[in-house]
């Protein structure tokens, strides 16, 4: 069950809070994949600027416990990026709350479908996305070059 005290709020991508959460995500991915060829893929502040996307932080009280971003790829397609929940806070619905907030942002931006990429070793993330209606699709965009580590997914909004 999702904790009702969890709120998601827009945050600047270059803020200290965002840097801490993204740094933790990158460290976890680097340890998980242990592959010097692996890329965590980029996200630029302009891509999450108002009207183009959003970077959201999940808060529990005064603690930042997760994050995620959404960016427009074209007029009708959005992409989820940088989804993360602190390891000690997983299983409490924070990821679902972030996903709901990102989908809402995507709809506000005019998107009618939403894409994402996650890793083949991220079983909990894959289960979350599948339970939320995402289906596996062929690799797209920057993920075409990493089919052995990437799982791409799509959902109609």
The per-residue pLDDT string of the chain (157 residues; one tens digit each, 9 = 90 and over) reads 456 689 999 999 999 999 999 999 988 888 888 765 555 567 899 999 999 999 999 999 899 999 999 999 999 999 999 999 999 999 999 999 999 999 999 999 999 999 999 999 999 999 999 999 999 999 999 889 888 889 999 999 9
Q: CA–CA separation, 83 vs 42, rounded Å?
A: 13
Name the residue with tokens 């709020």.
Answer: 9
Residue-range definition of the domain harbouring residue 51: 6-156
Here the contacts of 125-128 (C-beta below 8 Å, separation 24 or greater) are 125/83, 125/95, 126/151, 128/95, 128/96, 128/99
Q: What is the CATH number of the domain that holds 132?
A: 3.40.630.30
- Which residues lie across from 59 on neighbouring strands? 7, 64
Residue at 1 is within a domain: no
Q: What is the pTM of this model?
A: 0.92
- Which residues lie across from 137 on neighbouring strands? 152
């Amino acid at each position: 069950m999702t904790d009702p005290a969890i709120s998601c709020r827009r945050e600047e991508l270059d803020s200290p809070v965002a840097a801490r959460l993204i740094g933790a995500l990158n460290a976890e991915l680097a340890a998980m994949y242990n592959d010097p060829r692996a890329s965590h893929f980029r996200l630029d502040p302009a891509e999450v600027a108002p009207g183009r996307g959003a970077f959201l932080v999940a808060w529990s009280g005064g603690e930042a416990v997760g994050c995620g971003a959404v960016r427009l790829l074209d007029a009708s397609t959005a992409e989820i990026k940088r989804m993360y929940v602190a390891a000690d806070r997983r299983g409490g619905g924070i990821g679902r709350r972030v996903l709901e907030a990102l989908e809402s942002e995507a709809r506000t931006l005019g998107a009618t479908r939403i894409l994402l990429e996650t890793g083949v070793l991220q079983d909990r993330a894959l289960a979350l996305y599948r339970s939320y209606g995402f289906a596996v699709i062929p690799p797209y965009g920057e993920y075409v070059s990493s089919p052995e580590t990437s799982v791409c997914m799509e959902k109609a909004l």
